[in-house]
Structure 1
């Protein structure tokens, strides 16, 4: 029964597909040698240096002062010249007592301690009743600058600067005095005053004579300008004569005494 059912299975009714058989490809005879060479030289550029390097030992690390220069070793001849080592003294050895120092250090220390001056306490200050202690010297409360030898003494650069100022002031005063002597005022005497007054009046008379000689009718520009010039000169001379007659004391500068045709602006009337 079982064989009968197996022959009549529905799966057997379907046609079976057969796979097409491919023909064999051409395989090169040098395939295996080429494969072996590629595996041998594969990725050599991925390492720095050879692929297999000996691992360094842990004992060959860089030690301290290993790169510093070292002195050359001594020769045997130098070692032989060393002094022989001193032997240890025996128990029965006693030093010579006569050469020992007879100073009594105990008594000397007692005397030095008794006669020594007591140590002064270090000055301190406290900011509050239950505060901490601070040194008084570094606090700025001690007037230690007053106790200096050069306290209150004028520095050298200040004295030098003051001397230079005084020298410059003296030179300036001397130049001023020299200038004043050059332009000093000189008082005119009575004779010079009278002669000056007479000269001004004489000039006024000459100008007045020229003014009287002018024509009655002034019809040109030159005549009009000449008339105005004479009038201004006469007016100035009248003013100068009035001032000199009004002031009896007149001062004149020394540099103006040698000038000719002096102007009244060179004079000083107190």
Structure 2
């Protein structure tokens, strides 16, 4: 029987199972015991490195007894209230300073210092200094005799630089520089010549027929613009901006056409194909 099918047993309410409540868990180990080999809370302990090395379950007091009362949180509230019965007396506000005991060494054995002294000791009165023996030598007379008997020093002859083989000649490094500059100038001339040849290949000369066609076209254009300009010159009063602009435009066109016609008067004209 599938669960999706209808059944009369589904009408009967099912009992809710409530599991029994178990008791509270309580560990068999004490909760306030220090872990084995702990290094915490060792400020006043007798074991400064580790604590509870044996793994005991009992509380073992390992701290020093506190000698000063109320050193942690102080006395209860209201204990420091002033009272006329407890006034400050002599010696209560100050504490005596303990002095270290003096150690006296009565033994005859003294410590030997291996470190050498920086300065030598001062000589005693009984120690007489070493005195140099005097001499009866006459240094002035000895100097005169040594100068008389001395042999004059031979002066070494200096070389005559005017008789040198390379005197008056161009240094070799200047010759190398001159040859290098000459080679560079030849290379630059070759480069410029090659560029000029490339540019000349791009130029071509206009034929006489093409020149004549250009001249006729410029002449007809000039006559047309000049006719328009002559019509504007008869106007005595230019009262609008349109007329003024038209007159200025005609003047600029005439100047440009005259400059172009002047260039085309030459017999040989070359045109750059790259442009």
TM over 0.5: no
TM-score (normalizing by structure 2):
0.35
Larger Rg: 1
